[in-house]
Amino acid sequence: MTRVVFMGTPEFAVPALDKLSSSTDYDIVGVYAQPDKSAGRGRKLALTPVKEFAIAHNLPILQPHSLRTPEAQAELAALAPDVIIVAAYGLILPRAVLDLPPHGCINIHASLLPKYRGAAPINAAILSGEPITGITLMRMDEGVDTGPMLAQAELAIHADDTTTTLTGRLAQLGADLLAQTLPRWLAGQIEPQAQDESLATFAPRLSKQDGRLDWSLPAVELERRVRAFDPWPGTFTLWQSKRLKVNQVQILNFKFEISNLKLGQVIQEDNSVGIITGQGVLELIEVQLEGKRAMSASDFVRGQPDFVGAQLG
């Protein structure tokens, strides 16, 4: 039986761990997840999805703050893994870890490499308006998602996909691709393929400030941002010095002349509430003023009639 160490933290990693742990071909000798972090108003420690799964299925869980220390590396070496499977773990694997298992460290990456290397490939695919994304299995090296590829699978991006919905489908695709590929890799039946560096693009980690909407951008790009930044960092604008979260939007063609209106200005036609952008009008579907509950834009305007005509920033 193949000894497997699994490394992952968020919900994206759970289907792959589930697939591995339910197979009689693999012995999960260790599950690594990032340390628990405090969350919510009470700042209580919240278990990561991978840790929750590991506990529920009686799998050994380890949560070192780093894999660079001699102690952490000795603990991992004692598990004697034949292969390490990595899915959105979030910690850097140093050379000593990469070289440890005989069959290497295999990463489940949520893009069609070499496109969108880095921390936010799903967000980047939606932001760029890609019609297709996918999963790449690669043998990890010391670069950022630069290792040779073992397998790929494509997935269509729907017009209404958010990062939340797309992540769920990609997670399942990654689990299925791993189940199909890992036995062949362990049997020596796959020759890794080098990535074409000339086609490489990078998807850097997002920050909270990335969610602020710039109304000089075209409506089509702003609509993608709202979908790409769901659930994090979310998108927002400012109104009366308060943060207004923009949870859901769609592109709208207003019938009347808008050339004399300003960027970021709120307009209304019938029950539709729109914002003037650098190109076109973006209709607000759901918003949330700081400290308040989320509501439809039409309900928000009924409670805040001075919102129409305002200029958002």
Quickly list DSSP for 138-186.
EE--SSSS-SPEEEEEEEEPPTT--HHHHHHHHHHHHHHHHHHHHHHHH
In the three-class reduction of DSSP (H, G, I as helix; E, B as strand; rest coil), residue 50 is classed as helix
Selection from 150, 122, 153 nearest residue 137 by Cα = 150
For residue 142, give both structure tokens.
């010391």
Instruction: Please list the ranges in the chain whose pLDDT falls under 70.
Output: 39-43, 254-259
Helices first, then strands: H and E counts in the chain? 8, 15
Q: How far apart are CA 156 and CA 137, in angstroms?
A: 18
* Per-residue pLDDT, 301: 95
Residue 305 buriedness (CB in 10 A; 0-12 / 13-18 / 19+): exposed
* Per-residue pLDDT, 40: 63
Percent of the chain whose pLDDT exceeds 70: 96
Question: Nearest 5°: phi and psi at 175?
Answer: -65, -45
* Per-residue pLDDT, 241: 94
Summarised one tens digit per residue, pLDDT across range 116-168 is 999 999 999 999 999 999 999 999 999 999 999 999 999 999 999 999 999 99
Q: How far apart are CA 248 and CA 285, in angstroms?
A: 5
* Per-residue pLDDT, 260: 77
Which secondary structure element, helix H or strand E, spans residue 235, and what is its range?
none
Q: How far apart are CA 62 and CA 297, in angstroms?
A: 45
Q: How far apart are CA 152 and CA 143, in angstroms?
A: 19
Q: How far apart are CA 227 and CA 35, in angstroms?
A: 29
Summarised one tens digit per residue, pLDDT across range 205-224 is 999 999 999 999 999 999 99
CA torsion angle 84 87 88 90 (round to 10): -10
Q: How far apart are CA 312 and CA 212, in angstroms?
A: 11
